[in-house]
Amino acid sequence: MGTAQQPRILIEALSPRHDRTVFSCGVEALDRYLRRQAGQDTRKHVAATFVLVEEDRPAVLGFYTLSATSLRFSDLPEPTAKKLPRYPLVPAILLGRLAVDQSQRGKGYGRLLLIDALKRCVDARDIGWAAVLVDAKDEQTATFYEHYHFIRLGPGSLRLFLPRSTVASLIG
């Protein structure tokens, strides 16, 4: 008897071939965004959406979005701020949404999506950015990001960032 081969997992840019209708992460706002808004945001270049799928299957298992943003220099902690020019706004990349279908929890797909997002940020060599920024939806999500060295922008804040130098060292 042969062993069953695991399906190959891919992360690719959202396209019309992807089935977003069955995706359910348990957070209605994220489900609704993927189903109704992500394609439009991609076409209008407001956000780039990347989806996790099994090769040759269109169902979305997870996704994340990236877009350009900025944060106030004054919001940065001193150790980070002293390494940057004192411009009022600091260019950043927003990891706006990241979600995994409930049926896929516990498989490490959240980590896989995050690492892929950070790799794409590092690969964006032709634009200036100083940090990756996330807005965690709750404490549990903030803790997930902190596990990957994201830093809160203040005590108890759900807005976190990862300096570019840390991203580069994590990705290698």
Going by C-alpha positions, the residue among 129, 114, 1 that lies closest to residue 65 is 114
- Does residue 145 carry a catalytic annotation? yes
Going by C-alpha positions, the residue among 97, 55, 50, 92 that lies closest to residue 73 is 92
- Could you give the C-alpha distances from 25 to 29, 62, 80, 130, in angstroms and in order? 10, 8, 34, 30
Burial class of 76 by CB neighbour count within 10 A (0 to 12, 13 to 18, 19+): buried
Going by C-alpha positions, the residue among 68, 61, 73, 82 that lies closest to residue 133 is 68
Q: Distance from CA of residue 153 to its chain's centroid?
A: 18
Burial class of 75 by CB neighbour count within 10 A (0 to 12, 13 to 18, 19+): middle
- Which of 33, 64, 145, 148 is catalytic? The answer is 145
Distance CA 134, CA 93 (A): 9
Active site residues: 145
